Chain A
Amino acid sequence: MKLTRRQLMKNGLLLGASVPLSLGAAWASDVGLADDPAHGSISLFGVDRSTTELGQGLRQQGWTPRYEGRLDPLALNAQPAGTLATGFTDEAGLVLLTSLLAGRGRVLALGRHDAGQHRLLSHRGPIAAPLAVDAGSWQAALGREYARLATASGSARHRQDIRRPYGESVSATELSFLVRL
């Protein structure tokens, strides 16, 4: 029987269907986490190391990332109002995500992480972290910053370009997001 998307969602069969066990295991063994989760859960999307690191940064600030696998904006759209979501996606995913949020959610922050720089856009006021790597990876620093923005009360639109260290290995442009449904 071929189920429609609506039927899949009703039966809870769609979300998290592609969670790689290795990433879940990586988190389970995370160190340096906050003693108690202070903020509750946040949906975390993506399938590579950057996502793991982002999740680590969130945990350090008291969030509990819930791994959802590769971003499926249609599935994200079916989550309850108020859900916070973050992670990495590609150009196509970002187009779908922002488009589906029209009238349905809030874009708190977006990041474009190119070879030369990080370009961050916040709708929650200024971005504080320099994404320095002295306290771990830039993805973890981004996670900590997104953790802060998730609860920030600012409403100004703020754009900041941050130059990346010379010689930093970058294989491809990565796109990050922080949204609330």
Chain B
Amino acid sequence: MSTTQRILPKGVSEADFDAALVRFREILGADSVLTEGDQLAPYTKIMMAGDDKDYIPSAALLPTTTEQVKGIVRTCNEYKVPIWTISTGKNLGYGSAAPGETGQVILDMHRMNQILDVDPEVCTALLEPGVTYQQLYDYIKENDLKLWLDPPAPSAIAGPVGNTLDRGVGYTPYGEHFMFQCGMEVVLANGEVVRTGMGGIENSSSWQVFKWGYGPYIDGLFTQSNYGIVTKMGLWLMPEPPAYRPFVIQYDDLEDIEEIVDVLRPLRIAQIIPNAVVIVHTLWDAGTHVQRKTYYEGSDSIPREAIERIKQDEGVGEWNVYAALYGTPEQIDVNWKIVEQAFGKSGKAKIMYGEEAEKRGGGFEYRAALMRGDMNLQEFGLYNWRGGGGSMWFAPVSQAKGSETKDQTELAQKILGKYGFDYVAEYIVGWRDMHHVIDLLYNREDPEETQRAHDCFAELIDEFAKRGYGLYRTNTEFMEQVAGTFGEPLREVHKTLKNALDPNGILSPGKSGIRS
């Protein structure tokens, strides 16, 4: 079956779109305006349970300067052309590099990839949106700076700006990325440029060290939103600690999640354990390097018996807690005793570090790398677990309380089981909150299974919301539904802001369910 039909932005005539493309080529040069099918194909690859036809861009633009972005925005306003902004385009499982809806023009910022400043004294960086974690990591190593990054799991290929703007998380003590962001440069929909925080002061030396500036703090308005295009962002980097001790604690029973969280919470709040700890279920821990069909060929949820065999073969627990201590060797020794004592009380925990943890296998090696900010792509192995290219992250937030995690685990397993999917999950432990991250893996090549995954995800959103649990982030297929769970008053405020800042609705329409 051949397809040659031209894709146009919604509500834009062919003549107007052609005129806009001419203007884009004048601003960017012809090589930076992509319109051919094989060039746009990478921007159509989605992993969520949506229809491929709903996520095809009409073009992609590749600016290299803020001036070019301003020119693009002005042209879009003139011709009412909607653009969908991506930084490195690695929001895999959340919409990847595809537009929010068919016809939108991709504004791909990956060529704006300058590391503008790294200050090793105050441990800050100022970056363009196309800078990847690998690029920044290389820069730090090549300049022998004693600084650590905090990458998310797709580390090397993702970028700090995009991940922070989508409020992503990592695994070091700097794991809550937006908390460690400081200062932005933003191109607004009218083509004007604003610098947030201290950035409005000409030649300010404190743009990357003082977040709040003067007057209302607005940086949050440009995260998970479509109110502007961030062209520079500051972030804080972690000084390399004198010592580092990653460790793993294994528990064997599903019900143990309650104890784990209740023991962990005071240690996290008091910063005895300072990093974003993960509590990883068997299927995630093994799924990064084991294929499902080795243990079970059925199309329903993997049975308990198979999970027990995986635990035996891989030497992993039902729950596997990956955490680390940072500081001087003396500090680590003191804190280690506190950790051992806290987790040792019930006699259920198997606590390991050093050679014992390394020999254990499972995910220790790559988890240890992530907790020290090293680059690693091991987690992509999850895509081989079930096969077929389908993946959606279902990520509700909870309090760091055992009762809530038990409730969420049971509810998720019940709904996933009803639709025949596996509970491939982990909890990421913040200071007081938890991100319950479930990878709904399915075969996108099978239309029936894709529909089932869609229905399952929709039910997860609704049923979790009924119990008071909202998502911290979601993929483009479900942004509207998730926005609905947060209530109309908040949506009205979002819309009012959108109408004020982007009256023509040209910036990423539909992002987080926000439209003009």
**Residues in B neighbouring A96, C-beta threshold 8 A:** 157, 377, 380
Check A119/B445 contact, CB under 8 A, given A98-B42, A157-B37.
Answer: yes
Which segment, of B133-141, B207-215, B306-314, faces chain A? B133-141
For residue A18, CB closer than 8 A to chain B, the reply is no
A90-138, CB < 8 A from B: 90-92, 94-96, 98-108, 112, 114, 119, 123-126
Specify the chain B residue showing the minimal Cβ separation from A3. B141
The 6 closest A-B pairs by CB, nearest first: A123-B38, A107-B41, A106-B38, A92-B380, A102-B42, A101-B42
Q: Are A91 and B36 in contact (CB under 8 A)?
A: no
Which segment, of B89-97, B272-280, B360-368, B464-472, faces chain A? B89-97
Check A99/B38 contact, CB under 8 A, given A6-B142, A90-B384.
Answer: no
Q: Are A106 and B138 in contact (CB under 8 A)?
A: no
**A14→B157 CA distance, assembly (Å):** 17
For residue B388, CB closer than 8 A to chain A, the reply is yes
Cβ contact of A158, chosen from B1, B41, B142, cutoff 8 A: B1
For residue A4, CB closer than 8 A to chain B, the reply is yes
Q: Are B381 and A156 in contact (CB under 8 A)?
A: no
List B residues at the A interface (Cβ < 8 Å): 1-4, 34, 36-39, 41-43, 45, 47, 60, 62, 86, 89-90, 92, 96-97, 108, 110-111, 134, 137-138, 141-142, 156-157, 375, 377, 380-384, 387-389, 445
**Residues in A neighbouring B389, C-beta threshold 8 A:** 91, 94-95
**A106→B138 CA distance, assembly (Å):** 27
| Sampled A-B contacts (15; CB under 8 Å) | A4-B138, A5-B375, A74-B156, A90-B384, A92-B381, A95-B45, A96-B380, A98-B42, A98-B45, A99-B96, A106-B36, A108-B38, A114-B445, A157-B4, A157-B37
For residue A155, CB closer than 8 A to chain B, the reply is yes
**A155→B38 CA distance, assembly (Å):** 7
Number of CB contacts from chain A to chain B under 8 A: 109
Q: How far is the CB of A169 from chain B (nearest CB, A)?
A: 16
Q: How far is the CB of B491 from chain A (nearest CB, A)?
A: 31
Q: Are B2 and A99 in contact (CB under 8 A)?
A: no
- Of A5, A91, A103, A106, chain B has the most CB atoms within 10 Å of the CB of A103
Q: Are B141 and A99 in contact (CB under 8 A)?
A: no
Other than A92-B384, A102-B110, A124-B38, give 7 A-B pairs with Cβ distance below 8 A.
A4-B138, A5-B138, A7-B142, A104-B110, A123-B41, A125-B2, A157-B3
Q: Are A5 and B42 in contact (CB under 8 A)?
A: no
Q: Are B381 and A155 in contact (CB under 8 A)?
A: no
Q: How far is the CB of A164 from chain B (nearest CB, A)?
A: 15
Count residues on chain A whose CB falls below 8 Å from chain B CBs: 37
Q: How far is the CB of A179 from chain B (nearest CB, A)?
A: 9
Q: Are B3 and A156 in contact (CB under 8 A)?
A: yes
- Of A92, A100, A114, A180, chain B has the most CB atoms within 10 Å of the CB of A92
Q: How far is the CB of A180 from chain B (nearest CB, A)?
A: 8
**A6→B157 CA distance, assembly (Å):** 13
**Residues in B neighbouring A126, C-beta threshold 8 A:** 2
Q: How far is the CB of B386 from chain A (nearest CB, A)?
A: 9
**Residues in B neighbouring A102, C-beta threshold 8 A:** 42-43, 60, 86, 89, 97, 108, 110
**Residues in A neighbouring B445, C-beta threshold 8 A:** 112, 114, 119
For residue A160, CB closer than 8 A to chain B, the reply is yes
For residue A173, CB closer than 8 A to chain B, the reply is yes
Q: Are B111 and A103 in contact (CB under 8 A)?
A: yes
**Residues in A neighbouring B108, C-beta threshold 8 A:** 102-103
**Residues in A neighbouring B45, C-beta threshold 8 A:** 95, 98-99
Q: Are B42 and A105 in contact (CB under 8 A)?
A: yes
